[in-house]
């Protein structure tokens, strides 16, 4: 079988986009309408061998039907979820505004952490609380695993920092290894992320009072095709219909721009979104012009964030402990977990203070660890990482052809932007410009996702009616041609959704099939880019080399997800794929179906665990209340026997922590049988005493 090559029949048509708001909005709206109808507006000429959509909008208009802004229903509401490396957040458009939804503890963000024990699964703050006691079965950083192969250099570097085990599964998919319900289990990053998404779904349902099934989920702008698809799979496993995957900085721009005043005149309002979170980093340059949000360029690093700063601090603290006490702490998972908690706390302190004290009792072998770190030392430890944050800024300005002086606002998003040194470097880069801190960096992404969700739900609201979002592809998409050359069909920063078609031909005489290898990246050779998948087109009519005409079409949807089609014009032989699942670390339909079923089982198990805990707590409260009442009547008939029954019940609860609800309730009935007659006698005696006292 020969590789597809090789000779393109004609140069690519240049797309011409005028800079007037009216033309941009018309082009975007037309493409959005075509995409909604299942087709694409195309500019083409047969002889060109290529077609391409005009710059489209991904959000569409508010529409003429749908729920009102004040009372979205269970069927139409679309929540916005920021699925973060460290924390996640959910929001909804309701009553004409965005509401960030608190969890049951009142927190507006929830840790993206999942823990497994012998009796239950925990998600969020509860998982974090037990992590020092159970580090090997407490999973975090799933976002750094999702959509990657186990052999990825990023994962190999991270293995040393994680307290949980990861191994290579089938097709190189990384599997997270834990003990759950007394048995070893393995989970993909999609499944762990789905557990976090399901938790956000539960939080939204408790707040809204009805089921939530539709969501807009955000991803870093620099997430590749595999990572986007894997995130969408996680949503499916969680029981959500993911209506749209949108880029985090673009969502934050919606949060910023919804109420921001646009300068008068025709000048474009350039806004730079600097999004530095717990594990990922994005920079996006866009224009906001009378409700048109148009991304010009995006860049970033999917492995740079606050956790990398934590790693530097943890390494420093471990070395400091070894220097002071001549003992290593690095092989002790529980001790390292405690160091990490202390490091994160110190980092937060140093955002507002010049020194942070670190005190950890009995860290290793009964040794108390006391030390401190200054802001200057922290900035020195992380200096290289801080400077790396400026590289994507320079790249987006260069890609967009925009001068620093033309940037009107610099919007800070993500908790890690609170680091003073990062703010100082960024302000200095723009000549001392004041940074925009008007939006909550922890909530802005979910806020913008909720705005996009309201638009997709067809909410009628004057604040939403003029919003049109035009996002872009973060990386170039192309295929391999002769000599291992990367032939780009969709350049990076192309507006989406888009469809591009080019015509290729065969490299050898009488060639009857071709293999199409799809890549993404910016390097000239495919060996230096990221493979997305491959497929074969067979049934090509035998002909001299260069005679067959094979149309290859790349289509990128509004979520940034790619599908590829190849068609032989002579025979109409056709193949279409949405990129081979296993080659990109995503899930096959069978795997996805299995994981959806397992997620439902886990949810049922969680509900059963909550019922067991509730039943135990109820019996325990009853036992202690009864013990107090009996103790107050010491010496009365039957009290001694009743107190023994209470103590026996409490001992049984301690010894049978995994008892089922019916067992707990049966034990409660046994206790009531013994104590209730005694309590009635005590009450009767008390009533009689009161009656006698009143007669006197």
Strands (E), 208-260: 214-219, 241-247
Task: Check 191, 243, 275, 308 and give the catalytic one.
Answer: 275
Residue 177 is part of a domain; what is its CATH number? Answer: 3.30.420.40
Task: Show the domain range for 198.
Answer: 79-258+439-466
**Integer distance in angstroms from the first to the last C-alpha of the chain?**
111
Q: Are residues 247 and 125 in the same domain?
A: yes
Q: Are residues 577 and 521 in the same domain?
A: yes
Instruction: Say which DSSP state 186 is in.
Output: E
Q: Are residues 125 and 223 in the same domain?
A: yes
Query: Which residue numbers in the chain have pLDDT < 70?
Result: 1-75, 259-268, 578-589, 591-592, 595, 686-696
Give the 3-state secondary structure of residue 406. Answer: helix
pLDDT of residue 6: 35
Catalytic residue list contains 82: yes
Query: Does residue 539 belong to any structural domain of this protein?
Result: yes
Last-in-domain residue among 554, 586, 618: 586
Catalytic residue list contains 669: no
Q: Tell me the C-alpha to C-alpha distance, in Å, between residue 586 and each of 147, 189, 583.
A: 6, 10, 8
Instruction: Say which DSSP state 454 is in.
Output: H
Task: Check 248, 294, 409, 520 and give the catalytic one.
Answer: 248
Instruction: Say which DSSP state 505 is in.
Output: B
Q: Are residues 101 and 249 in the same domain?
A: yes
Strands (E), 214-278: 214-219, 241-247, 270-276
Give the 3-state secondary structure of residue 500. Answer: strand
Q: Are residues 625 and 491 in the same domain?
A: no
Q: Are residues 582 and 596 in the same domain?
A: no
Query: Does residue 521 belong to any structural domain of this protein?
Result: yes
Task: Check 50, 141, 143, 502 and give the catalytic one.
Answer: 143
Per-residue model confidence as pLDDT tens digits over 15-72: 222 233 444 444 444 444 444 333 322 222 222 334 344 433 344 433 333 444 445 5
Whole-number Å distance between alpha carbons of 250 and 451:
11
Q: Are residues 252 and 135 in the same domain?
A: yes
Last-in-domain residue among 545, 560, 586: 586
Query: Does residue 657 belong to any structural domain of this protein?
Result: yes
Tokens of 261: 């005043």
Whole-number Å distance between alpha carbons of 32 and 634:
79
Catalytic residue list contains 421: no
pLDDT of residue 32: 45
Catalytic residue list contains 24: no
Residue 677 is part of a domain; what is its CATH number? Answer: 1.20.1270.10
Whole-number Å distance between alpha carbons of 561 and 532:
11
Task: Check 50, 52, 82, 344 and give the catalytic one.
Answer: 82
DSSP assignment of 520-561: ESSSSBGGGSEEEEEEEEE-PPP--TT---EEEEEEE-TTS-
Q: Are residues 572 and 554 in the same domain?
A: yes
Q: Are residues 533 and 670 in the same domain?
A: no
Contact status, residue 379 vs residue 386, Cβ threshold 8 Å: yes
The domain total for the chain is 4
| Neighbour-count burial for 532-546, b at 16+ CB within 10 Å, e otherwise | bbbbebeebeebebe
Give the 3-state secondary structure of residue 181. Answer: coil
Whole-number Å distance between alpha carbons of 691 and 649:
35
Q: Tell me the C-alpha to C-alpha distance, in Å, between residue 99 and each of 124, 608, 643.
A: 20, 31, 51
Give the 3-state secondary structure of residue 599. Answer: helix
Whole-number Å distance between alpha carbons of 488 and 473:
13
**pTM, to two decimals:** 0.76
Q: Nearest to residue 315, comparing CAs of 293, 296, 330, 337?
A: 330
Residue 492 is part of a domain; what is its CATH number? Answer: 2.60.34.10
Residue 330 is part of a domain; what is its CATH number? Answer: 3.90.640.10
The alpha carbons of the chain give a radius of gyration, in whole angstroms, of 30
Q: Are residues 90 and 230 in the same domain?
A: yes
pLDDT of residue 158: 94
Q: For a pLDDT cut of 70, what percent of the chain falls above it? A: 84
Q: Are residues 532 and 604 in the same domain?
A: no
Last-in-domain residue among 525, 555, 586: 586
Q: Are residues 246 and 97 in the same domain?
A: yes
């Amino acid at each position: 079988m020969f590789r597809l090559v090789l000779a393109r029949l004609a140069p690519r048509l240049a797309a011409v986009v005028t800079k007037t708001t009216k033309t941009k909005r018309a082009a975007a709206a037309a493409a959005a309408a075509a995409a909604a109808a299942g087709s694409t507006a195309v500019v083409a000429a047969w002889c060109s061998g290529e077609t391409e959509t005009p710059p489209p909008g991904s959000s569409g208009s508010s529409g003429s039907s749908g729920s009102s802004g004040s009372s979205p229903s269970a069927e139409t509401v679309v929540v916005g979820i920021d699925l973060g490396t460290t924390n996640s957040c959910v929001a909804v458009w309701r009553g004409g505004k965005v509401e960030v939804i608190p969890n049951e503890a009142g927190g507006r963000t929830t840790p993206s952490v999942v823990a497994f024990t012998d009796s239950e699964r925990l998600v969020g703050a509860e998982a974090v609380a037990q992590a020092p006691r159970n580090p090997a079965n407490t999973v975090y950083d799933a976002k750094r695993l999702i959509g990657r192969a186990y052999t990825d250099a990023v994962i190999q570097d991270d293995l040393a920092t994680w307290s949980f085990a990861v191994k290579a599964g089938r097709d190189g998919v990384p599997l997270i290894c834990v003990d759950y319900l007394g048995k070893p289990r393995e989970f993909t990053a999609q499944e762990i992320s789905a557990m976090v998404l399901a938790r956000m779904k539960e939080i939204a349902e408790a707040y809204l009072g009805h089921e939530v099934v539709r969501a807009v989920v955000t991803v870093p702008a620099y997430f590749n095709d595999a990572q986007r698809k894997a995130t969408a799979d996680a949503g499916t496993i969680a029981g959500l219909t993911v209506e749209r995957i949108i880029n985090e900085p673009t969502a934050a721009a919606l949060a910023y721009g919804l109420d921001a005043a646009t300068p008068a005149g025709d000048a474009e309002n350039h806004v730079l979104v600097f999004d530095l979170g717990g594990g990922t980093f994005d920079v996006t340059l866009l224009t906001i012009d009378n409700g048109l949000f148009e991304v010009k360029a995006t860049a970033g690093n999917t492995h740079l964030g606050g956790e990398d700063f934590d790693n530097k601090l943890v390494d420093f603290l471990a070395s400091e402990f070894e220097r002071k006490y001549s003992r290593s702490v690095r092989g002790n998972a529980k001790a390292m977990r405690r160091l990490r908690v202390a490091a994160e706390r110190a980092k937060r302190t140093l955002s507002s203070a010049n020194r942070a004290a670190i005190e950890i009792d009995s860290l290793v072998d009964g040794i108390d660890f006391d030390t401190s770190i200054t802001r200057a030392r922290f900035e020195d430890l992380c200096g290289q990482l801080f400077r790396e944050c400026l590289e994507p800024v320079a790249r987006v300005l260069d890609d967009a052809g925009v001068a620093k002086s033309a940037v009107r606002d610099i919007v800070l998003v993500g908790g890690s932007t609170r680091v003073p040194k990062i703010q100082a470097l960024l302000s200095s880069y723009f000549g001392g410009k004041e940074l925009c801190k008007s939006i909550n960096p922890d909530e802005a992404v979910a806020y913008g996702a909720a705005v996009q969700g309201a638009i997709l739900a067809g909410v009628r609201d004057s604040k939403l009616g003029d919003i049109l979002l035009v996002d872009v592809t973060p990386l170039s998409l192309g295929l391999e041609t002769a000599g291992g050359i990367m032939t780009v069909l969709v350049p990076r920063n192309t507006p989406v959704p888009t469809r591009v078609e080019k015509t290729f031909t065969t490299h050898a005489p009488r060639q009857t099939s071709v293999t199409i290898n799809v890549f993404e990246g910016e390097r000239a050779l495919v060996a230096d880019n990221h493979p997305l998948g491959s497929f074969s087109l067979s049934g090509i009519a035998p002909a001299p080399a260069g005679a067959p005409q094979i149309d290859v079409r790349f289509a990128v949807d509004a979520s940034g997800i790619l599908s590829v089609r190849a068609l032989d014009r002579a025979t109409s032989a056709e193949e279409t794929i949405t990129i081979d699942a296993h080659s990109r670390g995503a899930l096959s339909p069978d795997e996805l179906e299995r994981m959806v079923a397992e997620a439902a089982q886990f949810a049922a198990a969680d509900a059963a665990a909550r019922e067991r805990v509730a039943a135990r707590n109820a019996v325990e409260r009853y036992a202690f209340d009864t013990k107090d009442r009996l103790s107050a009547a010491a010496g009365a008939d039957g009290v001694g026997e009743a107190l023994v029954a209470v103590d026996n019940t409490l001992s049984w609860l301690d010894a049978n922590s995994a008892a089922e609800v019916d067992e707990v309730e049966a034990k409660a009935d046994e206790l009531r049988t013994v104590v209730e007659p005694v309590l009635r006698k005590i009450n009767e005696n008390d009533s009689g005493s009161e009656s006698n006292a009143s007669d006197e």
